[in-house]
């Protein structure tokens, strides 16, 4: 492993001078959903990361929100009506009657039908959209949604474990106020769904560092640079197996530095897929936790409003540790290398440390190869200067659904009375039991020691109010309640008291 990165608790990753206003989005229901037995994608990993974030005390340094699930209407700002209707209707019980649609929308093996599919997509997309909305209103410098980052979903097709592209929806929201948005993807897989969505526009630049060559999804060549008005605004850096910390840093920093120089975005969306970490079940890179976090630190240093999202990552204990560490980087907190005790402590044995180390995997990326790619990427960037097509165009300051903010607030007040945000009660939660193997890892993982219910969340058919604020103390109490049961033997109920979220909700300890 490279020794070029400072110790875990070094101020090189955080510090008072780099502290930002951070809004963190987490829904305690997200870990209750599961694809199918044996599927590598496990939403439960988000709950593990959240537990570490809470037990490190990181929540003291940011505002915690529970976003409203994205509605069907909001999802169709990018996806087709027919596709979203299908996701909303199909269930494991009736899926046989939708066999034609499953084939049409690529729902099957990689993207199975599971209980609560649409509700899970709503949680993922809702956090990204509300994070973007808060950035638009200047209410935070950084918004974090580890449940987001599902970059493979297409306009009318599921792909690569992704059904609804929360990233595209978040970028669409940012574009209501921002002239230029930069998307950066450090997942091991190419961010094809996001690139495809903005391939013909210069208002979004997509930059993806990924494994290329006989590897899913098979896209992302160097020469894929966009078309029409979007020519040179799609940036692809194809990589080979085994790239390590030092090598990744040597390409990431100069490319992003030149992107910032030539494109000058008004907002950034950073997808932090954890499958680029060493030892990932489906990945083939060799990044340590610190090497991965260096990308987050570097992007943060530009002081541009940033939406930070999750993504891939299939070794749960590594993904959770990395996202917790990167949350610390974002808020400027120094985290101890010794993990605090938490309800998932046994996952992190035998070392019980906040670290993901690189292995002795061979790096197939030669200096000559990387220099050639870097030089070509920078040459293409020189042709992009400032997205000229929007220089003289006034970007409309409309709300997420159009109209004025006053219209939006009135609509929200009406919806609060008509459409209740129903959450799962503790009685309902305890009545559901998952399979014993639901959260089981690969052969080298410990079997999960707790089973969680899989349920359908009703959600809310409600407009999104981007001016909503939640009382700070209520946010912290809600977050503490979600994590205190195991460590203290206590359970709490909290009430969401946000101005725009006045409908009571039951929050259960998990």
pLDDT digits (tens, 9 = 90+) for 155-182: 999 999 999 999 999 999 999 999 999 9
Cα-based angle 190, 196, 201 (whole degrees, multiple of 5): 125
Instruction: Pick out the residues of the known binding site.
Output: 110, 160, 187, 189, 275, 314
DSSP string, 375-392: HHHHHHHTT-TT-GGGTT
C-alpha dist (Å) from residue 261 to 118, 209, 217, 243: 40, 19, 30, 26
Sheet holding 181-185, edge to edge: 63-65, 22-25, 142-145, 306-309, 267-271, 181-185, 204-211, 234-239
CA nearest neighbour of 281 among 8, 41, 69, 66:
41
State the DSSP string of 10-41.
Answer: -TTS--GGG---EEEE--TTGGG---STT-S-
Binding positions for substrate are 110, 160, 314
Residues involved in catalysis:
152
pLDDT for the residue 393 = 41
The burial class, CB within 10 Å (0-12 / 13-18 / 19+), for 222 is middle
What predicted TM-score, i.e. pTM, was given to this entire model? 0.78
Residues 320, 318: Cα–Cα separation, whole Å: 5
Give, in degrees to the nearest 5, the angle at Cα 477 between 474 and 483: 145
pLDDT of residue 423: 52
- Residue 10 CB contacts under 8 Å (≥ 6 apart), including other chains: 334
Question: Which residues of the chain fall below pLDDT 50?
Answer: 1-4, 6-11, 14-17, 387-388, 391-394, 396-397, 399-401, 419, 425-481, 484-510
pLDDT at 20: 86
Residues 6+ apart with CB under 8 A from 104: none
List residues bridging with 109 in a β-sheet. none
Residues in the annotated binding site for a divalent metal cation: 187, 189, 275
H/E stretch holding 468 reads: none
DSSP code, position 490: -
Q: Rounded to an integer, what distance in angstroms lies between the CA atom of residue 160 and that of residue 239?
A: 19
Round to whole Å and give the CA distance between 193 and 210: 14
**How many CB atoms lie under 10 A from the CB of residue 409?**
17
**Which pLDDT value is given to residue 48?**
98
Domains and CATH numbers, the chain: 16-390 (3.40.800.20)
Angle value at C-alpha 147, between 401 and 253, nearest 5 degrees: 95
């Amino acid at each position: 492993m490279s020794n070029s990165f400072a110790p875990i608790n070094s101020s090189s990753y955080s510090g008072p001078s780099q502290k930002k206003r951070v809004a963190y989005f987490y829904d305690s229901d997200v870990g209750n959903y599961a694809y199918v037995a044996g599927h590598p994608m496990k939403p439960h990993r988000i709950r593990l990361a959240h537990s570490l974030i809470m037990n490190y005390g990181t929540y003291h340094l940011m505002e915690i929100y529970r976003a409203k699930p994205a509605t069907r209407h909001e999802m169709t700002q990018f996806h087709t009506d027919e596709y979203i209707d299908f996701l909303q209707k199909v269930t494991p019980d009736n899926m046989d009657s939708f066999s034609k649609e499953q084939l049409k929308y690529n729902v099957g093996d990689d993207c199975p039908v599971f209980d609560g599919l649409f509700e899970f997509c709503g949680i993922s997309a809702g956090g990204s959209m509300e994070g973007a909305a808060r950035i638009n209103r200047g209410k935070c410098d950084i918004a974090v949604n580890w449940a987001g980052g599902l970059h493979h979903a297409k306009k009318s097709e599921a792909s690569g474990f992704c059904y609804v592209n929360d990233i595209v929806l978040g970028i669409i929201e940012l574009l209501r106020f921002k002239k230029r948005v930069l998307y950066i993807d450090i997942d091991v897989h190419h961010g094809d769904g996001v690139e495809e969505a903005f391939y013909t526009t210069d208002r979004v630049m997509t930059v993806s560092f990924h494994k290329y060559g006989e590897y899913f999804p098979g896209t992302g060549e160097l020469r894929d640079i966009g078309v029409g008005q979007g020519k040179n605004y799609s940036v692809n850096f194809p990589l080979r197996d085994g790239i390590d910390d030092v090598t990744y840093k040597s390409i990431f920093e100069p490319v992003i530095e030149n992107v910032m120089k030539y494109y000058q975005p008004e907002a950034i969306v950073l997808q932090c897929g954890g499958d680029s970490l060493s030892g990932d079940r489906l990945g083939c890179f060799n990044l340590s936790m610190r090497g991965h976090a260096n990308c987050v630190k570097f992007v943060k240093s530009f002081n541009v409003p940033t939406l930070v999202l999750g993504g891939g990552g299939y070794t749960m204990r590594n993904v959770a540790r990395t996202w917790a560490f990167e949350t610390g980087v974002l808020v400027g907190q120094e985290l101890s290398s010794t993990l605090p005790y938490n309800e998932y402590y046994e996952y992190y044995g035998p070392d019980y440390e906040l670290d993901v180390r690189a292995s002795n995997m061979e790096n197939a990326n030669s200096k000559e190869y990387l220099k050639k790619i870097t030089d070509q990427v920078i040459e293409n960037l020189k042709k992009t200067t400032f997205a000229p097509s929007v220089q003289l165009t006034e970007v409309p300051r409309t709300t997420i659904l159009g109209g004025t903010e006053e219209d939006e607030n009135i609509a929200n007040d009406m919806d609060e009375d008509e459409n209740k945000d129903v959450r799962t009660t503790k009685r309902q939660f305890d009545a559901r039991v998952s399979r014993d193997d639901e959260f089981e890892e690969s052969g080298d993982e410990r079997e999960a020691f707790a089973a969680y219910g899989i349920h359908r969340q009703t959600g809310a058919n409600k407009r999104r109010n981007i001016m909503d604020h939640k009382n700070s103390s209520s946010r912290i109490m809600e977050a503490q309640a979600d994590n205190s049961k195991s460590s203290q033997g206590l359970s709490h109920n909290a009430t969401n008291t946000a101005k725009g979220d006045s409908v009571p909700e039951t929050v259960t300890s998990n």
